[in-house]
Homo-oligomer: A and B are copies of this chain.
């Protein structure tokens, strides 16, 4: 169902004849990111994507299915790029962490997308009826901490982190700082403020040996 024309090219051409899945996902992402999961209704999604409701239902089944596809696209578009900074194995540990956190801070403060983290913003006040969405989000955040823990364990194996350092504790701490940056960005913190927070958080990581 996906055309090979990038979604952004089409904006001035009116409604495309062929449903552009990625373009629709990007527009749905902007809505969820700005307003959260609960407050984004299917009629808002229909309006923003320019797709007809039956098309959205055929493609994604329901709002939850659309959200799942949007979450996958967020990971492809943003998270994968941030993680590429982390897993650049030629960089010293502290630099890799800094580059990763700076990439995230740039994303959180970008004018092209809503402020803060898509996942934190979407998740904050989910109704009990959205248990599956809550679980998707919880798993994704657990993955973020796990990614950091995996990275730290790899560097520990290379001797860049002392053997006595608990990579789980350090990974949870860094994940916590990143999530706090989302809240700060949402309330208008500048990139420079986030960058100063990153620098402070990395000043004296316990056990870093390079």
Contacts and interface: CB of A to CB of B under 8 A. Distances in A.
Interface of A: 34-39, 120-125, 127, 137-138, 141-142, 166, 169-170, 172-173, 175-184, 186-189, 193, 196-197, 199-201, 203-204, 206
Contact of A197 (B38, B121, B123, B172): B172
Contacts of A188: 138
Contacts of A203: 204, 206
Contact of A125 (B124, B180, B199): B124
B197 A36 contact: no
B187 A200 contact: no
B187 A173 contact: no
Nearest to A40: B125
Nearest to A122: B125
Contact of A184 (B34, B38, B172, B206): B172
A28 B172 CA distance: 32
A39 B37 CA distance: 11
B170 A176 contact: no
A183 B187 contact: no
8 contacts: A39-B125, A123-B187, A141-B187, A169-B200, A176-B177, A179-B184, A203-B206, A204-B206
Contact of A206 (B34, B127, B172, B200): B200
Contact of A186 (B35, B124, B180): B124
Contacts of A39: 38-39, 125, 127
Question: Ordered nearest first, which 5 A-B pairs have the shortest CB separation?
Answer: A36-B125, A180-B180, A124-B124, A204-B204, A176-B180
